[in-house]
Amino acid sequence: MNELNYLSPENGEFYELETGLIAYRDNKKDYGRVAVLRMFPLEYKDEFLSVRTENYERRDKNNEIGIIRKLSAFNALQQEIVLRELEKRYFVPEITKVESIEEEFANSIWKVETTAGKAEFTVNDMGSNLLNLGNNKIMLTDVFGNRYIIPDITKINDKAVKVIEIWI
Amino acid sequence: MPEATAKTEYSDALSRALGKEEILFSSPYDLNAQGKYVNGIFAVTKESVCALEEGRVVLILKINSLKKVCCGEYVGNAILEAFTEDTRRLLVRFSMCHIEKFSAAAELINDIIEKAEVKKYNNVHSDEKCCPKCGRPFLRGTTVCRHCSDKFMMIKRIWALSKSCRPLYIALLVLFWITSIVTVVTPMLNKHLVNDVLVSKTPTIGRLLIIVLLMVLLSVITTVINVVRDIISSKASNLLVRDLRNDIYSKLQKMSLGFIEEKKAGDLMQRINNDTQRIQSFVQDIAIMAVNELFLFLAIAIITFTINYKMALLIFVPMPVSLYFVNIIRKSIRRRYGRQWRKMDVLTNRITDVLNGIKVVKVFGREDDEIDRFRDTAASVRDLTCKNEKYVYTVFPLIRFLMSFGSFLVLLYGGFSVINKSMSLGELVQFSTYGSYLYAKLEWFSNLPRHFMMATISSQRVFELLDKADEEIKEKEEKAHDISGKFDFNNVTFGYKSYRKVLKNITSSVEKGEMIGLVGHSGAGKSTMINLVMRLYNPDKGKILLDGINLLEYDENKYKASLGVVLQESYLFSGTILSNIKYASPDATLEDCIIAAKKANAHDFIMKLPDGYNTYVGEKGHKLSGGERQRISIARAIAANPKIIVFDEATASVDTETEIKIQQALKNVTEGKTVFAIAHRLSTLKNADRLIVIDDGKIAEEGTHSELMKKNGIYASLLKAQQEMITIEKEKKEEGE
């Protein structure tokens, strides 16, 4: 199928399973638990979302049910359900304060406050694990693959800026 | 939080929640369902799963109410999800640090559900990225924890390694000491030159000559010693590096492919080349120098205090302050140049990128945009370079000023003393020279921790490799069994990462002399299966039996000698066709090689080449076509007359005529041998005795070509799809003609 199948509030609805997981049904079928993926995760948070069946056993069988062009087209409850699912799938806490950065050769150990709470993580090889997203926005990936966003580097302390400016 | 602490902290709460049930698995986790960091602990017993957050029970479920548990990998976090009769529910959520443990937990719970044999989770993972002692991440590319590793242990090991060079090092040290003595004596001569000749009331030419001659003599001694020292030094350096590199390289060859692939070729090359070099330069240039510099520093310090302790104090008191500022400036210079180097890197990458893709740039007419992008990057490099140079030109004099600040104080105080006649001018000259020496030594020492740390890391990386090799070699207790070629796969499970299984419970038998075709979608696990057959990796669970004996019990060399392999990429080593055919069987006679080439349908094309079997194939065999390379690699595989043959997509990317030749070659060589073949074109496998269709890591279908066609399942649909593709291609060709 080469055409884009947009999902709209008219042809289907998201609902929550009693266990808190997201599910989707349309006029024809109830798909049960689904996955909602961002097509442009670094650019759009609530636009261009791909809704797919989720099968852990057979990832190659996860088919696309359709695309949400703009989540805002759905009602508040539906938006909330989808956003909650997206927050679960994309866990990228925003760094609100850098307490310290300890540099040790290829490693840098960050102690920070984030939107998800206090965290300590290690980034190695900043050259490949620091991504400049433009507009002073930075994404760091730690040794385990966890991601952290600095929404505006001009708003964090100078010492931290000095450490990362080499890589920007 | 380190695991050990977390476990003790919550063990009471856990035992309250779970009663006397034996805990089979427990691990901390760090996210609650709402995506906030928490101190959580998850535990599994034979009856229940339980989760505590901040000491409170947030989940307790009976395992018999669950159908299955899966570990889902998301972006920046992962979840453990349970399937019950009618719905699915989230068990726990955690950041990526815990995924390996929780995928093991999922396996454990599923084993309990399926009533399979369960083992207590031992908390050890080969691909763990954290120190099991303190929970901190390892240094990049190593399993070395910067906090728990004994730094002095490394120095001791380096010292032990340098055994063969020790006499040379001692000679170096002695020579260093002689030059140090010359260094200490020279300012004394300066003093006499000033006091007894230049400002003396009764100067004599004789005295001047003696002092100048002594100075010349010292200078000659220093020059000679320096030459001898450099010769010894280069000899010592080559000895140590050679020994170390040989040791690493020979051990590396014997290690499992899993370890080598995990480390990447670049990283291993770095260890063999750069890390050994760094260890050597540390031992030779830093460690020996450090002993010498310390000796010299102490000697000069004692002399200065003996001459005039007040003036000596003037040198020492401002030292910490000067060094502090110098250090700050040095850091800032390093940071600025780091940035410049990064920008240069971006510029170089831009050029390489565009030059490699110049055809694409030209075809899409993007030349002007590329010029603009390059101009912008080049301009930013230029601006940064100018700024940095300006900075360096300004701060270097400042550094020099700071470093000589003590000498100004000495000059001031000394000047007063000379005017007051309490000190001679010669003594002042001698003193200031010593002062500058002390500052220079101190600056050298301030760099020592960095060198020390770098050498420690390098040696850790080198020793990790050596130790790992010892460990792998020690583990094997192999026997030289005779091989006939019957394979049994018993519940074989394997994944390159512990939480992503590629093969799941493969059970099948392959008779001696049988040709097995492995079929499946790309990524289904075909290549992985033959990787296990080739013993490049070992199963995580289950066994592969060869003639009834576990494959791991065979002597590896003997097993590999009975294996003929034609890989997807027919890699030829730089050398002649003959040396490539003989690669796997160096004892093969010329006749053996010709027979092998004939069987592989390679003989005729080889004979068309002016140099025949002595044709130089070039790097990676680039002077030959893909089909030719493949036939030589088939000849290489069969020259040793193997019992087992492995073909991996041997007929990919060649034209039909060549494919027919290769197929003939395969037919020639597979008779009476156990063959595992993966072919890009399914038609190649029509002659196989049996086909095994692998789908998503499991055996989906098994049987002959006609049996599977009748079944009309995955194989039939794959073959149909491929035939349709071939028809379309043919039609296109005909239209074109």
Give the tens place of pLDDT for each residue, B2-38: 444 445 556 777 777 787 788 888 888 999 988 899 9
Distance of alpha carbon B304 from alpha carbon B319, whole angstroms: 15
| In the block, residue with structure tokens 């510099």 | B293
Q: Classify strands B674-678 and B515-519 as parallel, antiparallel or unpaired.
A: parallel
CATH of the domain at B88: 2.30.29.30
Distance of alpha carbon B424 from alpha carbon B438, whole angstroms: 21
Which residue range is the domain that position B508 belongs to? Answer: 487-736
B181, B183, B185, B187: CA torsion to nearest 10: -160
H/E element, A162: helix A158-165
pLDDT value at B126 more than 50: no
Residue A5 domain-assigned?
Answer: no
- Do residues A70 and A107 share a domain? no
Which of B656, B717, B724, B712 lies closest to B684, judged by CA? B656
**For B675-688, what is the mean pLDDT?**
78
pLDDT of B5? 45
Which residue range is the domain that position A133 belongs to? Answer: 95-165
- Do residues B327 and B460 share a domain? yes
- Do residues A120 and A58 share a domain? no
Residue B611 domain-assigned?
Answer: yes
Q: Distances in Å between the alpha carbon of A104 and those of A109, B139, B457, B736?
A: 8, 9, 11, 62
> In sequence order, what are the residues at sequence separation of 6 or more whose Cβ sits closer than 8 angstroms to the Cβ of residue A99?
A111, A112, A113
* Contact residues on chain B for A159, CB-CB shorter than 8 A: none
Query: Which carries the bigger pLDDT value, residue B508 or residue B737?
Result: B508
- Do residues B261 and B314 share a domain? yes
For residue B77, list its beta bridge partners.
Answer: B95
- Do residues B187 and B295 share a domain? yes
B350-356, long-range: CB < 8 A, 24+ apart: B350/B374, B350/B377
Tens of pLDDT, residue by residue, chain A (168 residues): 457 889 999 888 999 887 778 899 988 888 888 889 998 888 888 999 999 887 765 656 668 899 999 999 999 999 999 998 898 889 999 999 999 888 765 678 899 999 999 998 988 777 778 888 888 899 999 988 899 999 998 888 887 887 777 777
- Do residues A85 and A99 share a domain? no
**Residues 104-133 of chain A whose Cβ lies under 8 A from any Cβ of chain B:** 104-107, 114, 116-119, 122, 124-125, 127
- Do residues A117 and A51 share a domain? no
- Do residues B451 and B560 share a domain? no
For residues B318 and B405, the answer to whether their CB atoms sit within 8 Å is: yes
Q: Show which of B400, B433, B467 is a domain's final residue.
A: B467
Strongest mean pLDDT among B93-107, B147-161, B474-488, B683-697: B93-107
| Strand ranges for B521-611 from DSSP E | 541-546, 549-550, 563-566
Rg (CA), chain B: 36
- Do residues B623 and B697 share a domain? yes
Residue A1 domain-assigned?
Answer: no
pLDDT value at B266 more than 80: no
Residue B135 domain-assigned?
Answer: no
Residue B100 domain-assigned?
Answer: yes
Q: Which two tokens stand for residue B309?
A: 């302790």
The secondary structure of B558-584, three-state, reads: HHHHCEEEECCCCCCCCCEHHHHHCCC
Residue A6 domain-assigned?
Answer: no
Asked if A145 has any chain B CB less than 8 Å from its own CB, the reply is yes
For residues B455 and B288, the answer to whether their CB atoms sit within 8 Å is: no
Residue A114 domain-assigned?
Answer: yes
Number of neighbours of residue B218 by Cβ within 10 angstroms: 17
**Distance linking the first and last C-alpha atoms of chain B:** 70
For residues B294 and B266, the answer to whether their CB atoms sit within 8 Å is: no
pLDDT value at B441 more than 70: yes
For residues B634 and B665, the answer to whether their CB atoms sit within 8 Å is: yes
Distance of alpha carbon B471 from alpha carbon B42, whole angstroms: 33
Asked if B457 has any chain A CB less than 8 Å from its own CB, the reply is yes
Give the tens place of pLDDT for each residue, B153-200: 767 777 777 777 888 888 888 888 888 888 888 888 888 888 888 877
Residue A38 domain-assigned?
Answer: yes
pLDDT of B125? 45
Residue B366 domain-assigned?
Answer: no
- Do residues B454 and B511 share a domain? no
What's the angle, vertex CA B258, arms to CA B252 and CA B259, rounded to 5? 45
Residue B143 domain-assigned?
Answer: no
- Do residues B266 and B301 share a domain? yes
Q: Show which of A48, A65, A89 is a domain's final residue.
A: A89
C-alpha B183, offset from chain centre: 44
- Do residues A102 and A79 share a domain? no
Q: Show which of A89, A123, A157 is a domain's final residue.
A: A89
- Do residues B193 and B338 share a domain? yes
Give the tens place of pLDDT for each residue, B553-596: 888 777 887 888 887 777 788 888 998 898 888 888 888 899 88
Under the banding of pLDDT at 50, 70 and 90, the label for residue B132 is low
H/E element, B499: none
Under the banding of pLDDT at 50, 70 and 90, the label for residue B124 is very low
* Contact residues on chain B for A54, CB-CB shorter than 8 A: 72
Q: Is the CB of A107 less than 8 angstroms away from the CB of B139?
A: yes
pLDDT value at B92 more than 90: yes
- Do residues B430 and B508 share a domain? no
- Do residues A110 and A53 share a domain? no
pLDDT of B654? 63
Mean per-residue pLDDT over chain B, rounded:
81
**Residues 104-133 of chain B whose Cβ lies under 8 A from any Cβ of chain A:** 129
**For B446-451, what is the mean pLDDT?**
74
Count of structural domains within chain B: 3
**3-class DSSP assignment, residue A112:** strand
- Do residues B98 and B191 share a domain? no
For residue A132, list its beta bridge partners.
Answer: A138
Asked if A15 has any chain B CB less than 8 Å from its own CB, the reply is no
Distance of alpha carbon B584 from alpha carbon B574, whole angstroms: 15
For residues B30 and B55, the answer to whether their CB atoms sit within 8 Å is: no
Asked if B264 has any chain A CB less than 8 Å from its own CB, the reply is no
- Residue B8 class from Cβ within 10 Å (0-12 exposed, 13-18 middle, 19+ buried)? exposed
**3-class DSSP assignment, residue B314:** helix
- Do residues B502 and B533 share a domain? yes
Residue B121 domain-assigned?
Answer: no
Q: Show which of B90, B113, B136 is a domain's final residue.
A: B113
Residue of chain A minimizing CA distance to B337 = A166
* Contact residues on chain B for A139, CB-CB shorter than 8 A: none
Query: Which carries the bigger pLDDT value, residue B89 or residue A149?
Result: A149
- Do residues B408 and B449 share a domain? yes
- Chosen for mutation from A24, A132, A166, A168 (greatest number of chain B CBs closer than 10 Å) is A166
Distance of alpha carbon B692 from alpha carbon B705, whole angstroms: 10
Give the tens place of pLDDT for each residue, B317-358: 877 887 788 778 877 887 788 778 878 888 888 888 888 888
pLDDT of B507? 92
- Quick check: pTM over 0.95? no
* Contact residues on chain B for A18, CB-CB shorter than 8 A: 87
Distance of alpha carbon B466 from alpha carbon A52, whole angstroms: 48
Which of A149, A156, A19, A138 lies closest to A90, judged by CA? A149
CATH of the domain at B593: 3.40.50.300
Asked if B93 has any chain A CB less than 8 Å from its own CB, the reply is yes
Asked if B16 has any chain A CB less than 8 Å from its own CB, the reply is no
Residue B119 domain-assigned?
Answer: no
Residue B371 domain-assigned?
Answer: no
* Contact residues on chain B for A91, CB-CB shorter than 8 A: 31, 35, 74-77, 95
**3-class DSSP assignment, residue B355:** helix
* Contact residues on chain B for A105, CB-CB shorter than 8 A: 139, 453-454, 457
For residue A15, list its beta bridge partners.
Answer: A23
pLDDT of B10? 63
pLDDT of A67? 92
- Do residues A161 and A122 share a domain? yes
Distance of alpha carbon B74 from alpha carbon B593, whole angstroms: 53
Residues written for chain A:
168
pLDDT of B477? 56
ipTM of the complex: 0.88
- Do residues A102 and A71 share a domain? no
Query: For residue B280, which phi and psi values (nearest 5 degrees)?
Result: -60, -45
Count of structural domains within chain A: 2
Q: Show which of B437, B467, B497 is a domain's final residue.
A: B467
- Do residues A101 and A83 share a domain? no
Rg (CA), chain A: 19
For residues A11 and A1, the answer to whether their CB atoms sit within 8 Å is: no
- Chosen for mutation from A37, A56, A95, A128 (greatest number of chain B CBs closer than 10 Å) is A56
Q: Show which of A37, A60, A89 is a domain's final residue.
A: A89
- Do residues A21 and A74 share a domain? yes
